[in-house]
Structures are given as C-alpha cells and as structure tokens.
Amino acid sequence: MSSKKLQNDGERRSKLMEIFHQYKEFYMLKEIEKLAKEKGVEQKYVKVNLQALIDEGKIESDKIGSTIYYWSFPVNVKQIKRKSSNLKSKNKILNEKLNILNEAFNKKLNEEKLQAEKDNNQDDDAKERKIKCTKLKAEIATLKIKEQDLLKVLSETSTKTSINVEKIKKDAEELHAAANRWTDAVFVIRSYLLKNCNNVDEKAVNKEFLIPDNFDYV
C-alpha cells in the first residue's frame, strides 16, 4: 500500500532522496517511479523533481545505451567535502606566505623610495626598477583578490545542503591554478631581490622571508 500522497515538491524530493540513500543502487526512471509511489510521490511528479535534484547536484544521471540511469551515494559528498577542506587549508598556508612576502616587498619598496629621494641623479635603471616594483605589487594585489573570491565560492558551496559535484571540481581546479600563480609571484619577487640587492644569495632570501627550501608548485 502506498503512503499518503505528498502535497509539495520539497517533501517529494526528500522522499526521492530517501530512495537513493536507503538502497544505494542505480535506477531507471520506471524503477524510481515504482518506489516513489510507495513513499507517496505520484508518478507525474517524479521526473520533474528528479531533474530538480540533478540541477542541485544531489543526484547524478548518465545515459547508458538507450537508458538513463540515476544514482546518489552519500560517500561521494563526504569525499568531495574532505578534498575541498584540504585545498582550502593549502590555500590558507599559501596566503599566509604571500602576506609575508608582500610585507617584505613593501618594506623593500619603501627603502628604494627613500633612497630615490636622497639621490637627485637617479638613472634610468633605477626608474625602471621602480616601475617593475609597482607592477609586481599590483599583481600580488590582484592574486589576493582572486584568492578571496575563490575561497568565498568554496565556503558557500561546502556549507550548502546540496553539493554540486561538477562545480566543486571546477572550483578545486581554479584553486590549484591560483596556488601555482602565487608560487610564480613568489619566484618572480625572489628573482628580483637576488638581481637587484648586492651581496644577497638565494639561501639568505629564503631565510629572511621564511620561504621553505622545498617551496615549489602544488
């Protein structure tokens, strides 16, 4: 005997999710319609609510041959949340390192500014270095804004009841790319300091700005 008929889509979708998480199987539409009827979901409401759950990222679907199969496993959501959390932690560490380098860079920029004010006969090379410093600072600021935007998207996604799998994968790829761009920025800044500061080697720069010896792309 079927359950009492449900009156709104929210209840219907909840019952459909119960089917997937209770049995943890792959289903054809007809099979879902049969199980849904037992839970009080009328056949005419099944397909439209399945599509809504797919759009929300709660259910996956794929066409195999001429048949469309539907499934949803809670373990997938847990794995994605864990991966997202790890990426978020890595980006937090990179952001802290970037802040340290940014402070050191600002300090160096201020020192050069003071030196330029004392030197009334600064040459073209000094002017060019100042332009490069300004450009690098702007690039760092842009990277920090991008990082904040990505972390905001990730945070909003991970706290939702429904998790869109494809969106999280895309966000994870963007975070990975952003982390490597920050690493590029670190290498550029370090190269600049080595080139323009006398009697300074790579080991000294790493020690001064807390850059690990094994610092590399993620």
CB 165 within 8 Å of CB 76: yes
Long-range contacts, stretch 3-7, CB < 8 angstroms, 24+ apart: 3/38, 3/39, 3/40, 4/40, 5/40, 5/41, 5/42, 6/40, 6/41
The CA distances from residue 94 to 15, 133, 141, 184, in Å, are: 43, 21, 14, 12
Name residue, tokens 């319609």. Answer: 33
Which H helix or E strand runs over 71? strand 67-71
Residue % of the chain over a pLDDT of 70 = 77
Task: Decide if pLDDT at 161 tops 60.
Answer: no
pLDDT at 163: 53
Separation between Cα atoms, residue 72 and residue 20, nearest integer Å: 6
Task: Decide if pLDDT at 40 tops 70.
Answer: yes
CB 70 within 8 Å of CB 53: no
Give the other-Cβ count within 10 Å of 186's Cβ.
Answer: 19
pLDDT at 48: 95
CB 73 within 8 Å of CB 118: no
Q: What is the pLDDT of residues 6-30, one digit of tens each?
A: 668 899 999 999 999 888 889 999 9
Among 58-62, 117-121, 127-131, 174-178, whose mean pLDDT is lowest? 117-121
Separation between Cα atoms, residue 150 and residue 143, nearest integer Å: 11
* Mean pLDDT confidence for 55-79: 83
Q: How confident is the model at residue 127 (pLDDT cuts 50, 70, 90)?
A: confident
Among 49-58, 101-110, 148-157, 193-202, whose mean pLDDT is lowest? 148-157
> Averaging pLDDT over each range in 55-59, 179-183, 189-193, which range is the top one?
55-59
Between these two residues, 45 and 212, which has the higher pLDDT value?
Answer: 45
Separation between Cα atoms, residue 64 and residue 139, nearest integer Å: 47
Fold of 9-72: Arc Repressor Mutant, subunit A (1.10.10)
Q: Where are the domains of the chain?
A: 9-72, 75-208
**Burial of residue 182, with CB atoms counted within 10 A of its CB: 0-12 exposed, 13-18 middle, 19 or more buried:** buried
